[in-house]
């Protein structure tokens, strides 16, 4: 069965600090997709990144970077030089091909960035 664990419930940092949000997943499928979404205080969910199981290349987008490691079933998200606007809840999600792409979300990590 698919499962996503975000062990960090809340993280609080001071502006300009780097912060890493952890995501560990469980799947028996060889073809799957991993996602990160951001939910700011306004409530909407915003897509950040998608990774498929065959692409382990790390990705950088501005201050955001993602580290995908199949060996440890992890897909961690790092924000460099955090800003107050990064304060939000961040969700990691998994979709398995054999599950018909049913998407399972982790519990989310609430990030507070203080000025």
| Binding stretches for another protein (CB under 8 A) | 31, 33, 35, 37, 43-47, 50, 52, 91, 95, 97, 99-108
Give the nearest distance from C-beta 41 to another protein in angstroms: 13
DSSP result, 82-106: --GGG-EEEEEEEEETTTTT-EEE-
Label residue 78 exposed, middle or buried (CB < 10 Å: 0-12, 13-18, 19+).
middle
Of 40 and 60, the one with the shorter C-beta distance to another protein is 40
Of 33 and 112, the one with the shorter C-beta distance to another protein is 33
Give the nearest distance from C-beta 1 to another protein in angstroms: 12
Q: How far is CA 110 from CA 14, 20, 71, 85, 100, in A?
A: 14, 12, 26, 13, 29
At residue 100's C-alpha, the angle toward residues 97 and 104, to 5°, is: 85
Give the nearest distance from C-beta 15 to another protein in angstroms: 27
Give the nearest distance from C-beta 66 to another protein in angstroms: 14
Of 15 and 112, the one with the shorter C-beta distance to another protein is 112
């Amino acid at each position: 069965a698919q499962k996503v664990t975000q062990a960090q419930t809340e993280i609080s940092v001071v502006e300009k600090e780097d912060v890493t949000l952890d995501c560990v997943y469980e799947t028996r499928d060889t073809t799957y997709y991993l996602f990160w979404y951001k939910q700011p205080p306004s409530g909407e969910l915003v897509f950040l990144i998608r990774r498929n199981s065959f692409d382990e290349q790390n990705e950088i987008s501005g201050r955001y970077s993602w580290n995908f490691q199949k060996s440890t079933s992890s897909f961690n998200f790092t924000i460099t030089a955090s800003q107050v606007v990064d304060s939000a809840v961040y969700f990691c999600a998994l979709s398995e091909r054999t599950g018909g792409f049913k998407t399972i979300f982790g519990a989310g990590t609430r990030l507070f960035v203080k000025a």
